[in-house]
Chain A
Amino acid sequence: MSIINLLKNKISRMRTRQDMVVSALIIIPIVIIAAVSFSGSKNSKLSIAVVSDNYNNIQEDNNYKITVLSQKLGFSDLALGIYDFVVKENNDGHYTVETALQDNVKKQDVQKLFNNEKISSQSTKTESERGVGSSLLGLIVLFVIIEGTTLTVFFPNDITFKTLKRIFTSEVSEKSYIIAQFIFTFIGLYVPTFIAVAISKAILGNDIGYSTYVIALLTAVITGLSTAFALFMSSIMRDNIQIASCFIALIVSLICGCFYKFNSGIKIIDSICNLLPISSYMNIAEGLEKGNSLFQYRLGFLNLALWTIVMLVIGVLITHRRLKNGEFN
Protein backbone atom coordinates (compact mmCIF):
# COMPACT_ATOMS: atom_id res chain seq x y z
CA MET A 1 0.00 0.00 0.00
CA SER A 2 2.74 2.46 0.89
CA ILE A 3 4.54 1.57 -2.35
CA ILE A 4 1.48 2.59 -4.32
CA ASN A 5 1.24 5.86 -2.39
CA LEU A 6 4.91 6.55 -2.98
CA LEU A 7 4.43 5.88 -6.69
CA LYS A 8 1.44 8.21 -6.83
CA ASN A 9 3.57 10.87 -5.15
CA LYS A 10 6.32 10.56 -7.74
CA ILE A 11 3.84 10.69 -10.59
CA SER A 12 2.31 13.85 -9.09
CA ARG A 13 5.72 15.43 -8.90
CA MET A 14 6.32 14.66 -12.57
CA ARG A 15 3.83 17.39 -13.41
CA THR A 16 6.43 20.04 -12.64
CA ARG A 17 9.21 18.13 -14.33
CA GLN A 18 8.34 18.45 -17.98
CA ASP A 19 12.05 18.12 -18.70
CA MET A 20 11.90 14.49 -17.54
CA VAL A 21 8.92 13.85 -19.76
CA VAL A 22 10.67 15.58 -22.68
CA SER A 23 13.90 13.66 -22.26
CA ALA A 24 12.20 10.31 -21.68
CA LEU A 25 9.50 10.58 -24.31
CA ILE A 26 11.09 12.76 -26.95
CA ILE A 27 14.86 13.03 -26.83
CA ILE A 28 15.62 9.39 -26.07
CA PRO A 29 13.42 8.08 -28.88
CA ILE A 30 14.99 10.62 -31.27
CA VAL A 31 18.44 9.42 -30.28
CA ILE A 32 17.38 5.83 -30.76
CA ILE A 33 15.86 6.47 -34.16
CA ALA A 34 18.97 8.40 -35.20
CA ALA A 35 21.05 5.46 -34.00
CA VAL A 36 18.83 3.26 -36.11
CA SER A 37 19.60 5.32 -39.18
CA PHE A 38 23.27 4.97 -38.44
CA SER A 39 22.96 1.22 -37.94
CA GLY A 40 21.05 0.95 -41.17
CA SER A 41 23.68 2.83 -43.04
CA LYS A 42 26.53 0.77 -41.63
CA ASN A 43 25.96 -1.88 -44.24
CA SER A 44 26.55 0.49 -47.07
CA LYS A 45 29.57 0.21 -49.28
CA LEU A 46 33.09 1.29 -48.40
CA SER A 47 33.91 4.59 -50.06
CA ILE A 48 36.99 5.11 -52.17
CA ALA A 49 38.27 8.44 -53.49
CA VAL A 50 40.41 8.04 -56.56
CA VAL A 51 42.78 10.83 -57.44
CA SER A 52 43.22 10.39 -61.16
CA ASP A 53 42.75 12.10 -64.53
CA ASN A 54 41.99 8.82 -66.20
CA TYR A 55 38.57 7.56 -65.14
CA ASN A 56 38.10 4.98 -67.82
CA ASN A 57 40.68 2.61 -66.45
CA ILE A 58 38.94 2.22 -63.14
CA GLN A 59 36.79 -0.84 -62.54
CA GLU A 60 33.42 -0.59 -60.98
CA ASP A 61 32.82 -2.87 -58.06
CA ASN A 62 29.63 -3.66 -56.17
CA ASN A 63 31.38 -3.61 -52.81
CA TYR A 64 32.71 -0.09 -53.09
CA LYS A 65 31.43 3.35 -53.82
CA ILE A 66 34.08 4.98 -55.99
CA THR A 67 34.42 8.73 -56.40
CA VAL A 68 36.94 10.19 -58.83
CA LEU A 69 38.63 13.42 -57.85
CA SER A 70 41.12 15.52 -59.74
CA GLN A 71 42.59 17.12 -56.65
CA LYS A 72 44.63 15.51 -53.92
CA LEU A 73 42.81 14.86 -50.65
CA GLY A 74 44.09 15.62 -47.21
CA PHE A 75 44.72 12.89 -44.67
CA SER A 76 42.04 14.47 -42.47
CA ASP A 77 39.38 13.21 -44.89
CA LEU A 78 40.56 9.70 -44.12
CA ALA A 79 40.90 10.42 -40.40
CA LEU A 80 37.27 11.53 -40.21
CA GLY A 81 35.96 8.73 -42.37
CA ILE A 82 34.76 10.97 -45.17
CA TYR A 83 36.43 8.41 -47.36
CA ASP A 84 37.56 4.97 -46.29
CA PHE A 85 40.37 4.82 -48.85
CA VAL A 86 42.24 7.23 -51.06
CA VAL A 87 43.71 5.72 -54.18
CA LYS A 88 46.43 7.58 -56.08
CA GLU A 89 47.64 6.80 -59.53
CA ASN A 90 51.42 6.76 -59.76
CA ASN A 91 53.43 7.74 -62.81
CA ASP A 92 54.01 4.11 -63.69
CA GLY A 93 50.25 3.44 -63.83
CA HIS A 94 50.31 1.57 -60.56
CA TYR A 95 47.88 2.55 -57.81
CA THR A 96 48.74 3.09 -54.15
CA VAL A 97 46.12 3.01 -51.45
CA GLU A 98 46.03 5.02 -48.28
CA THR A 99 43.65 4.55 -45.36
CA ALA A 100 43.29 5.75 -41.76
CA LEU A 101 40.50 3.73 -40.22
CA GLN A 102 40.41 0.47 -42.15
CA ASP A 103 42.54 -2.57 -41.49
CA ASN A 104 45.38 -3.91 -43.67
CA VAL A 105 43.32 -6.74 -45.16
CA LYS A 106 40.76 -4.38 -46.60
CA LYS A 107 43.52 -2.05 -47.75
CA GLN A 108 45.21 -4.84 -49.67
CA ASP A 109 41.90 -5.85 -51.26
CA VAL A 110 41.46 -2.35 -52.61
CA GLN A 111 45.05 -2.32 -53.79
CA LYS A 112 44.48 -5.55 -55.68
CA LEU A 113 41.24 -4.28 -57.15
CA PHE A 114 42.90 -1.24 -58.65
CA ASN A 115 46.00 -3.08 -59.78
CA ASN A 116 43.87 -5.71 -61.49
CA GLU A 117 44.97 -8.45 -59.18
CA LYS A 118 42.83 -11.23 -57.85
CA ILE A 119 41.05 -10.33 -54.65
CA SER A 120 41.04 -13.10 -52.09
CA SER A 121 38.37 -11.70 -49.82
CA GLN A 122 35.39 -9.50 -50.36
CA SER A 123 34.92 -6.77 -47.85
CA THR A 124 31.82 -4.97 -46.88
CA LYS A 125 31.47 -2.16 -44.51
CA THR A 126 30.42 -4.39 -41.64
CA GLU A 127 33.24 -3.63 -39.29
CA SER A 128 32.58 -6.57 -36.97
CA GLU A 129 30.42 -9.67 -36.80
CA ARG A 130 27.85 -7.64 -34.91
CA GLY A 131 24.43 -7.38 -36.49
CA VAL A 132 22.32 -4.28 -36.89
CA GLY A 133 20.12 -5.10 -33.91
CA SER A 134 22.94 -5.62 -31.42
CA SER A 135 24.75 -2.54 -32.78
CA LEU A 136 21.61 -0.53 -32.15
CA LEU A 137 21.24 -1.89 -28.63
CA GLY A 138 24.89 -1.14 -27.94
CA LEU A 139 24.43 2.45 -29.05
CA ILE A 140 21.48 3.07 -26.80
CA VAL A 141 23.00 1.50 -23.64
CA LEU A 142 24.74 4.74 -22.67
CA PHE A 143 21.63 6.84 -23.14
CA VAL A 144 19.48 4.43 -21.18
CA ILE A 145 21.88 4.50 -18.23
CA ILE A 146 22.01 8.32 -18.23
CA GLU A 147 18.23 8.59 -18.52
CA GLY A 148 17.86 6.13 -15.63
CA THR A 149 19.77 8.53 -13.38
CA THR A 150 17.56 11.40 -14.52
CA LEU A 151 14.38 9.50 -13.67
CA THR A 152 15.72 8.63 -10.21
CA VAL A 153 16.22 12.28 -9.31
CA PHE A 154 13.30 12.33 -6.86
CA PHE A 155 15.32 10.18 -4.48
CA PRO A 156 18.18 12.67 -3.95
CA ASN A 157 15.61 15.49 -4.03
CA ASP A 158 13.78 13.88 -1.12
CA ILE A 159 17.05 13.83 0.79
CA THR A 160 17.88 17.47 0.00
CA PHE A 161 14.43 18.80 0.84
CA LYS A 162 14.11 16.68 4.02
CA THR A 163 10.92 14.97 2.87
CA LEU A 164 12.73 11.64 3.03
CA LYS A 165 13.16 12.11 6.74
CA ARG A 166 9.44 12.71 7.07
CA ILE A 167 8.68 9.64 4.98
CA PHE A 168 10.90 7.46 7.15
CA THR A 169 9.25 8.67 10.34
CA SER A 170 6.15 6.89 9.04
CA GLU A 171 5.73 3.18 8.54
CA VAL A 172 7.47 3.27 5.19
CA SER A 173 10.67 1.26 5.26
CA GLU A 174 13.80 1.97 3.27
CA LYS A 175 13.11 -1.18 1.28
CA SER A 176 9.62 0.01 0.29
CA TYR A 177 10.93 3.38 -0.73
CA ILE A 178 13.65 1.94 -2.94
CA ILE A 179 11.24 -0.55 -4.49
CA ALA A 180 8.80 2.26 -5.28
CA GLN A 181 11.58 4.32 -6.85
CA PHE A 182 12.72 1.25 -8.81
CA ILE A 183 9.25 0.67 -10.22
CA PHE A 184 8.87 4.33 -11.13
CA THR A 185 12.23 4.58 -12.88
CA PHE A 186 11.85 1.23 -14.60
CA ILE A 187 8.46 2.00 -16.11
CA GLY A 188 9.47 5.55 -17.05
CA LEU A 189 12.54 4.20 -18.81
CA TYR A 190 11.16 1.01 -20.30
CA VAL A 191 8.07 2.27 -22.04
CA PRO A 192 9.62 4.96 -24.29
CA THR A 193 12.74 2.88 -24.93
CA PHE A 194 10.78 -0.18 -25.98
CA ILE A 195 8.44 1.84 -28.17
CA ALA A 196 11.38 3.54 -29.88
CA VAL A 197 13.23 0.26 -30.48
CA ALA A 198 10.01 -1.37 -31.72
CA ILE A 199 9.50 1.51 -34.16
CA SER A 200 13.12 1.06 -35.25
CA LYS A 201 12.38 -2.58 -35.99
CA ALA A 202 9.47 -1.48 -38.11
CA ILE A 203 11.79 0.86 -40.03
CA LEU A 204 14.63 -1.60 -40.45
CA GLY A 205 12.47 -4.67 -40.75
CA ASN A 206 14.41 -7.91 -41.00
CA ASP A 207 17.75 -6.16 -40.63
CA ILE A 208 17.18 -6.32 -36.89
CA GLY A 209 17.47 -10.00 -36.14
CA TYR A 210 15.08 -10.04 -33.19
CA SER A 211 11.43 -10.69 -32.74
CA THR A 212 9.39 -8.12 -30.85
CA TYR A 213 9.37 -10.40 -27.81
CA VAL A 214 13.13 -10.59 -27.72
CA ILE A 215 13.33 -6.81 -28.11
CA ALA A 216 10.94 -6.52 -25.15
CA LEU A 217 13.13 -8.85 -23.09
CA LEU A 218 16.43 -7.19 -23.98
CA THR A 219 15.00 -3.72 -23.32
CA ALA A 220 13.69 -4.93 -19.96
CA VAL A 221 17.09 -6.33 -19.03
CA ILE A 222 19.04 -3.16 -19.82
CA THR A 223 16.34 -1.00 -18.22
CA GLY A 224 16.41 -3.08 -15.03
CA LEU A 225 20.18 -2.87 -14.84
CA SER A 226 20.20 0.89 -15.50
CA THR A 227 17.54 1.45 -12.86
CA ALA A 228 19.47 -0.55 -10.27
CA PHE A 229 22.61 1.39 -11.14
CA ALA A 230 20.80 4.71 -10.78
CA LEU A 231 19.46 3.72 -7.36
CA PHE A 232 22.86 2.49 -6.29
CA MET A 233 24.51 5.76 -7.28
CA SER A 234 21.76 7.82 -5.61
CA SER A 235 22.26 5.87 -2.39
CA ILE A 236 26.03 6.12 -2.17
CA MET A 237 26.67 9.58 -3.59
CA ARG A 238 25.92 12.69 -1.59
CA ASP A 239 25.95 15.00 -4.59
CA ASN A 240 27.06 15.27 -8.24
CA ILE A 241 25.22 12.02 -8.87
CA GLN A 242 24.52 12.70 -12.52
CA ILE A 243 28.06 13.75 -13.33
CA ALA A 244 29.51 10.65 -11.68
CA SER A 245 26.93 8.38 -13.31
CA CYS A 246 27.62 9.79 -16.79
CA PHE A 247 31.35 9.31 -16.25
CA ILE A 248 30.99 5.69 -15.15
CA ALA A 249 28.39 4.94 -17.83
CA LEU A 250 30.64 6.26 -20.61
CA ILE A 251 33.71 4.33 -19.44
CA VAL A 252 31.80 1.09 -18.90
CA SER A 253 30.00 1.36 -22.25
CA LEU A 254 33.32 1.76 -24.01
CA ILE A 255 35.21 -1.02 -22.30
CA CYS A 256 32.28 -3.41 -22.63
CA GLY A 257 32.27 -2.91 -26.37
CA CYS A 258 28.92 -1.18 -26.76
CA PHE A 259 30.11 0.99 -29.63
CA TYR A 260 32.84 -1.19 -31.00
CA LYS A 261 33.60 -4.79 -30.26
CA PHE A 262 37.24 -5.38 -29.42
CA ASN A 263 39.69 -7.65 -27.75
CA SER A 264 42.49 -5.92 -25.90
CA GLY A 265 44.74 -8.98 -26.04
CA ILE A 266 45.53 -8.58 -22.36
CA LYS A 267 43.94 -11.48 -20.52
CA ILE A 268 43.32 -9.73 -17.24
CA ILE A 269 41.63 -6.73 -18.86
CA ASP A 270 39.42 -8.95 -20.97
CA SER A 271 38.50 -11.02 -17.91
CA ILE A 272 37.53 -7.94 -15.94
CA CYS A 273 35.51 -6.59 -18.86
CA ASN A 274 33.71 -9.92 -19.27
CA LEU A 275 32.61 -9.81 -15.64
CA LEU A 276 30.85 -6.51 -16.15
CA PRO A 277 27.11 -6.83 -16.78
CA ILE A 278 27.13 -4.73 -19.94
CA SER A 279 29.55 -7.20 -21.55
CA SER A 280 27.13 -10.02 -20.75
CA TYR A 281 24.34 -7.95 -22.21
CA MET A 282 26.18 -7.34 -25.47
CA ASN A 283 27.12 -11.03 -25.74
CA ILE A 284 23.49 -12.00 -25.26
CA ALA A 285 22.32 -9.37 -27.76
CA GLU A 286 24.78 -10.54 -30.41
CA GLY A 287 24.11 -14.22 -29.77
CA LEU A 288 20.34 -13.89 -29.92
CA GLU A 289 20.60 -11.94 -33.16
CA LYS A 290 22.57 -14.81 -34.67
CA GLY A 291 19.70 -17.11 -33.77
CA ASN A 292 21.10 -18.76 -30.67
CA SER A 293 18.73 -19.83 -27.95
CA LEU A 294 18.09 -17.94 -24.75
CA PHE A 295 19.13 -20.93 -22.68
CA GLN A 296 22.64 -20.72 -24.08
CA TYR A 297 23.09 -17.43 -22.29
CA ARG A 298 21.75 -18.45 -18.91
CA LEU A 299 25.03 -17.57 -17.24
CA GLY A 300 24.96 -14.17 -18.87
CA PHE A 301 21.41 -13.57 -17.65
CA LEU A 302 22.47 -14.74 -14.22
CA ASN A 303 25.34 -12.27 -14.23
CA LEU A 304 22.97 -9.47 -15.15
CA ALA A 305 20.42 -10.50 -12.54
CA LEU A 306 23.14 -10.74 -9.90
CA TRP A 307 24.48 -7.27 -10.61
CA THR A 308 20.98 -5.83 -10.60
CA ILE A 309 20.04 -7.46 -7.29
CA VAL A 310 23.36 -6.69 -5.62
CA MET A 311 23.18 -3.00 -6.58
CA LEU A 312 19.62 -2.81 -5.25
CA VAL A 313 20.47 -4.57 -2.00
CA ILE A 314 23.51 -2.36 -1.44
CA GLY A 315 21.30 0.65 -2.17
CA VAL A 316 18.83 -0.42 0.53
CA LEU A 317 21.57 -1.18 3.06
CA ILE A 318 23.38 2.08 2.50
CA THR A 319 20.14 4.07 2.69
CA HIS A 320 19.36 2.34 5.99
CA ARG A 321 22.81 3.13 7.32
CA ARG A 322 22.63 6.75 6.25
CA LEU A 323 19.22 7.05 7.90
CA LYS A 324 20.48 5.62 11.17
CA ASN A 325 23.54 7.85 11.07
CA GLY A 326 21.24 10.83 10.87
CA GLU A 327 22.37 11.93 7.42
CA PHE A 328 18.82 12.68 6.35
CA ASN A 329 18.20 14.98 9.34
Chain B
Amino acid sequence: MKPRIRSLALLPSLAIVGIGLVLPGLLMLAYSFLRYVPGRITDFTLSIENYLRLFGDFFYLGVVVRTLQLGVIVTVLSLLLAYPVAYYLARTTSRFKGVLTYLVFLPMMVGIVVRAYGWIVILGREGLLNTGLQSLGVVDEPVRLLYSMHAVVLALVEVLLPFMIMPILSSLEKIDRHVEEAARAAGATPMQAFLRVTLPLSFPGVVSGSLLVFSLSITAYALPALLGGTKVKLIAALAYDAMLVGYNWPFGSAIGIFMGLVSGTVVYLYLRTTGRRGVAR
Protein backbone atom coordinates (compact mmCIF):
# COMPACT_ATOMS: atom_id res chain seq x y z
CA MET B 1 0.00 0.00 0.00
CA LYS B 2 1.39 3.38 -0.94
CA PRO B 3 1.79 6.03 1.78
CA ARG B 4 -1.00 8.10 0.24
CA ILE B 5 -3.39 5.18 0.33
CA ARG B 6 -2.36 4.43 3.89
CA SER B 7 -3.32 7.95 4.95
CA LEU B 8 -6.57 7.53 3.06
CA ALA B 9 -7.30 4.30 4.94
CA LEU B 10 -6.77 6.05 8.27
CA LEU B 11 -8.83 9.07 7.28
CA PRO B 12 -12.37 7.86 8.13
CA SER B 13 -11.37 6.68 11.61
CA LEU B 14 -9.37 9.81 12.36
CA ALA B 15 -12.27 11.96 11.14
CA ILE B 16 -14.66 10.14 13.50
CA VAL B 17 -12.34 10.56 16.48
CA GLY B 18 -11.73 14.17 15.49
CA ILE B 19 -15.42 15.09 15.20
CA GLY B 20 -16.59 12.89 18.06
CA LEU B 21 -13.81 13.26 20.60
CA VAL B 22 -11.08 15.84 19.94
CA LEU B 23 -13.33 18.69 18.85
CA PRO B 24 -15.93 18.04 21.59
CA GLY B 25 -13.17 17.86 24.19
CA LEU B 26 -11.79 21.23 23.12
CA LEU B 27 -15.28 22.69 23.04
CA MET B 28 -15.89 21.47 26.58
CA LEU B 29 -12.63 23.02 27.72
CA ALA B 30 -13.65 26.32 26.11
CA TYR B 31 -17.14 26.24 27.64
CA SER B 32 -15.71 25.63 31.10
CA PHE B 33 -14.07 29.08 30.95
CA LEU B 34 -17.17 30.96 29.80
CA ARG B 35 -19.58 32.93 31.97
CA TYR B 36 -23.04 31.47 32.48
CA VAL B 37 -26.02 33.63 31.59
CA PRO B 38 -29.44 32.21 32.47
CA GLY B 39 -31.66 31.79 29.43
CA ARG B 40 -29.03 31.91 26.74
CA ILE B 41 -26.33 29.71 28.30
CA THR B 42 -23.39 32.10 27.84
CA ASP B 43 -22.50 35.58 26.65
CA PHE B 44 -19.03 34.38 25.61
CA THR B 45 -17.22 36.34 28.32
CA LEU B 46 -14.15 34.57 29.69
CA SER B 47 -14.24 33.73 33.40
CA ILE B 48 -13.09 31.18 35.94
CA GLU B 49 -16.30 31.41 38.00
CA ASN B 50 -17.27 27.83 37.17
CA TYR B 51 -14.14 26.41 38.74
CA LEU B 52 -14.36 28.76 41.71
CA ARG B 53 -17.92 27.55 42.26
CA LEU B 54 -16.93 23.88 42.02
CA PHE B 55 -14.04 24.15 44.47
CA GLY B 56 -15.33 26.95 46.67
CA ASP B 57 -18.58 25.40 47.80
CA PHE B 58 -18.75 22.80 50.56
CA PHE B 59 -21.74 21.15 48.89
CA TYR B 60 -19.78 20.40 45.72
CA LEU B 61 -16.64 19.46 47.63
CA GLY B 62 -18.75 17.03 49.67
CA VAL B 63 -20.03 15.42 46.49
CA VAL B 64 -16.47 15.08 45.16
CA VAL B 65 -15.27 13.48 48.40
CA ARG B 66 -18.25 11.10 48.54
CA THR B 67 -17.67 10.09 44.92
CA LEU B 68 -14.01 9.31 45.57
CA GLN B 69 -14.96 7.33 48.70
CA LEU B 70 -17.43 5.32 46.66
CA GLY B 71 -14.69 4.66 44.10
CA VAL B 72 -12.37 3.27 46.79
CA ILE B 73 -15.07 1.05 48.34
CA VAL B 74 -16.18 -0.32 44.98
CA THR B 75 -12.57 -0.98 43.95
CA VAL B 76 -11.72 -2.88 47.16
CA LEU B 77 -14.89 -5.01 47.04
CA SER B 78 -14.39 -5.78 43.33
CA LEU B 79 -10.84 -6.85 44.03
CA LEU B 80 -11.90 -9.23 46.83
CA LEU B 81 -14.56 -10.84 44.63
CA ALA B 82 -12.60 -10.86 41.39
CA TYR B 83 -9.34 -12.35 42.58
CA PRO B 84 -10.63 -15.87 43.37
CA VAL B 85 -12.44 -15.96 40.00
CA ALA B 86 -9.30 -14.94 38.10
CA TYR B 87 -7.21 -17.40 40.13
CA TYR B 88 -9.69 -20.21 39.46
CA LEU B 89 -9.85 -19.47 35.72
CA ALA B 90 -6.06 -19.28 35.49
CA ARG B 91 -5.45 -22.57 37.30
CA THR B 92 -8.43 -24.75 36.39
CA THR B 93 -8.06 -27.66 34.02
CA SER B 94 -11.83 -27.94 33.60
CA ARG B 95 -13.12 -28.24 30.06
CA PHE B 96 -15.66 -25.54 30.93
CA LYS B 97 -12.92 -22.93 31.25
CA GLY B 98 -13.87 -21.33 27.90
CA VAL B 99 -17.55 -21.14 28.81
CA LEU B 100 -16.76 -19.74 32.25
CA THR B 101 -14.55 -17.03 30.74
CA TYR B 102 -17.35 -16.23 28.29
CA LEU B 103 -19.80 -15.88 31.18
CA VAL B 104 -17.64 -13.11 32.66
CA PHE B 105 -18.10 -11.10 29.47
CA LEU B 106 -21.73 -11.93 28.85
CA PRO B 107 -23.28 -9.49 31.37
CA MET B 108 -21.26 -6.65 29.82
CA MET B 109 -23.02 -7.30 26.53
CA VAL B 110 -26.46 -7.01 28.08
CA GLY B 111 -26.01 -3.43 29.21
CA ILE B 112 -26.43 -1.77 32.57
CA VAL B 113 -30.10 -0.79 32.43
CA VAL B 114 -31.23 -4.42 32.32
CA ARG B 115 -28.93 -5.27 35.22
CA ALA B 116 -30.16 -2.28 37.21
CA TYR B 117 -33.66 -3.76 36.92
CA GLY B 118 -32.21 -7.07 38.10
CA TRP B 119 -31.06 -5.34 41.28
CA ILE B 120 -34.49 -3.77 41.72
CA VAL B 121 -36.00 -7.27 41.52
CA ILE B 122 -33.49 -8.50 44.10
CA LEU B 123 -33.57 -5.54 46.50
CA GLY B 124 -37.08 -4.14 46.01
CA ARG B 125 -39.89 -4.03 48.64
CA GLU B 126 -41.29 -7.28 47.32
CA GLY B 127 -38.04 -8.47 45.88
CA LEU B 128 -36.00 -11.62 46.37
CA LEU B 129 -34.14 -10.54 49.52
CA ASN B 130 -37.15 -9.10 51.33
CA THR B 131 -39.33 -12.11 50.53
CA GLY B 132 -36.55 -14.40 51.67
CA LEU B 133 -35.88 -12.55 54.91
CA GLN B 134 -39.59 -12.42 55.73
CA SER B 135 -40.22 -16.09 55.05
CA LEU B 136 -37.24 -16.97 57.24
CA GLY B 137 -38.73 -14.77 59.93
CA VAL B 138 -35.65 -12.56 60.16
CA VAL B 139 -37.77 -9.43 59.62
CA ASP B 140 -41.53 -8.79 59.88
CA GLU B 141 -41.75 -5.77 57.60
CA PRO B 142 -40.00 -5.29 54.25
CA VAL B 143 -36.64 -3.60 54.78
CA ARG B 144 -35.70 -0.65 52.65
CA LEU B 145 -32.72 -1.83 50.64
CA LEU B 146 -33.13 0.09 47.40
CA TYR B 147 -32.42 3.77 46.88
CA SER B 148 -29.39 3.82 49.11
CA MET B 149 -25.62 3.96 48.79
CA HIS B 150 -25.51 0.22 49.58
CA ALA B 151 -27.63 -0.60 46.55
CA VAL B 152 -25.42 1.55 44.33
CA VAL B 153 -22.23 -0.12 45.64
CA LEU B 154 -23.66 -3.63 45.19
CA ALA B 155 -24.67 -2.96 41.59
CA LEU B 156 -21.49 -1.09 40.65
CA VAL B 157 -19.31 -3.93 41.94
CA GLU B 158 -21.33 -6.41 39.87
CA VAL B 159 -21.10 -4.31 36.73
CA LEU B 160 -17.38 -3.58 37.08
CA LEU B 161 -16.19 -7.07 38.09
CA PRO B 162 -15.19 -8.11 34.53
CA PHE B 163 -12.86 -5.11 34.34
CA MET B 164 -11.11 -6.41 37.47
CA ILE B 165 -11.12 -10.11 36.57
CA MET B 166 -9.55 -9.74 33.12
CA PRO B 167 -6.30 -7.89 34.00
CA ILE B 168 -5.73 -10.16 37.03
CA LEU B 169 -6.41 -13.26 34.92
CA SER B 170 -3.96 -12.17 32.26
CA SER B 171 -1.20 -11.45 34.78
CA LEU B 172 -1.83 -14.79 36.56
CA GLU B 173 -1.59 -16.62 33.25
CA LYS B 174 1.86 -15.15 32.69
CA ILE B 175 3.17 -16.70 35.93
CA ASP B 176 4.97 -19.99 35.46
CA ARG B 177 3.06 -22.68 37.36
CA HIS B 178 6.32 -24.28 38.39
CA VAL B 179 7.16 -21.30 40.58
CA GLU B 180 4.22 -22.13 42.84
CA GLU B 181 5.02 -25.84 42.70
CA ALA B 182 8.60 -25.11 43.69
CA ALA B 183 7.37 -23.25 46.76
CA ARG B 184 5.15 -26.22 47.64
CA ALA B 185 8.01 -28.65 47.14
CA ALA B 186 10.14 -26.52 49.44
CA GLY B 187 7.56 -27.10 52.16
CA ALA B 188 5.14 -24.16 51.88
CA THR B 189 1.45 -24.79 52.53
CA PRO B 190 -0.86 -23.90 49.59
CA MET B 191 -1.80 -20.68 51.34
CA GLN B 192 1.81 -19.72 52.02
CA ALA B 193 2.75 -20.47 48.42
CA PHE B 194 -0.12 -18.26 47.30
CA LEU B 195 0.57 -15.38 49.67
CA ARG B 196 4.34 -15.35 49.28
CA VAL B 197 4.69 -16.24 45.60
CA THR B 198 1.60 -16.01 43.41
CA LEU B 199 -0.03 -12.93 44.92
CA PRO B 200 3.06 -10.70 44.66
CA LEU B 201 3.70 -11.86 41.10
CA SER B 202 0.14 -10.99 40.05
CA PHE B 203 0.43 -7.50 41.47
CA PRO B 204 0.59 -5.70 38.08
CA GLY B 205 -2.82 -7.15 37.18
CA VAL B 206 -4.23 -6.14 40.56
CA VAL B 207 -3.00 -2.58 40.08
CA SER B 208 -4.31 -2.16 36.55
CA GLY B 209 -7.68 -3.74 37.36
CA SER B 210 -8.03 -1.47 40.39
CA LEU B 211 -7.21 1.66 38.42
CA LEU B 212 -9.72 0.73 35.72
CA VAL B 213 -12.52 -0.02 38.19
CA PHE B 214 -11.79 3.13 40.18
CA SER B 215 -11.90 5.29 37.05
CA LEU B 216 -15.18 3.72 35.90
CA SER B 217 -16.87 3.89 39.30
CA ILE B 218 -16.17 7.57 39.96
CA THR B 219 -17.74 8.49 36.62
CA ALA B 220 -20.82 6.25 36.90
CA TYR B 221 -24.15 7.93 36.28
CA ALA B 222 -26.86 5.48 35.19
CA LEU B 223 -26.71 2.99 38.07
CA PRO B 224 -26.63 5.61 40.85
CA ALA B 225 -29.53 7.42 39.15
CA LEU B 226 -31.66 4.26 39.00
CA LEU B 227 -30.70 2.63 42.32
CA GLY B 228 -29.57 5.50 44.51
CA GLY B 229 -32.75 7.55 44.40
CA THR B 230 -32.56 11.21 45.27
CA LYS B 231 -30.32 10.72 48.30
CA VAL B 232 -27.20 9.55 46.48
CA LYS B 233 -25.71 12.47 44.57
CA LEU B 234 -22.45 11.75 42.82
CA ILE B 235 -20.30 13.94 40.64
CA ALA B 236 -21.63 12.61 37.33
CA ALA B 237 -25.16 13.42 38.46
CA LEU B 238 -24.06 17.01 39.17
CA ALA B 239 -22.72 17.22 35.63
CA TYR B 240 -25.89 15.70 34.16
CA ASP B 241 -28.12 18.11 36.08
CA ALA B 242 -26.03 21.10 35.04
CA MET B 243 -26.12 20.09 31.39
CA LEU B 244 -29.70 18.89 30.94
CA VAL B 245 -31.75 20.22 33.84
CA GLY B 246 -30.27 23.65 34.51
CA TYR B 247 -28.81 24.20 31.03
CA ASN B 248 -25.75 25.63 32.72
CA TRP B 249 -23.34 24.28 30.14
CA PRO B 250 -20.31 26.28 31.36
CA PHE B 251 -20.60 24.84 34.89
CA GLY B 252 -21.36 21.35 33.54
CA SER B 253 -18.26 21.63 31.35
CA ALA B 254 -16.11 22.62 34.31
CA ILE B 255 -17.29 19.52 36.20
CA GLY B 256 -16.62 17.48 33.07
CA ILE B 257 -13.07 18.82 32.71
CA PHE B 258 -12.41 18.05 36.38
CA MET B 259 -13.72 14.48 35.97
CA GLY B 260 -11.68 14.14 32.81
CA LEU B 261 -8.49 15.21 34.61
CA VAL B 262 -9.03 12.76 37.48
CA SER B 263 -9.97 9.79 35.30
CA GLY B 264 -7.34 10.75 32.72
CA THR B 265 -4.63 10.56 35.38
CA VAL B 266 -5.90 7.18 36.55
CA VAL B 267 -6.10 5.84 32.99
CA TYR B 268 -2.60 7.12 32.25
CA LEU B 269 -1.31 5.16 35.24
CA TYR B 270 -3.29 2.15 34.02
CA LEU B 271 -1.70 2.28 30.57
CA ARG B 272 1.71 2.65 32.20
CA THR B 273 1.23 -0.46 34.36
CA THR B 274 -0.14 -2.65 31.59
CA GLY B 275 2.27 -1.21 29.04
CA ARG B 276 -0.36 -1.97 26.46
CA ARG B 277 -0.79 0.78 23.97
CA GLY B 278 -0.66 -0.93 20.61
CA VAL B 279 -3.81 -1.98 18.79
CA ALA B 280 -2.74 -5.58 18.33
CA ARG B 281 -0.81 -5.83 21.61
Q: Do A and B come from one complex?
A: no
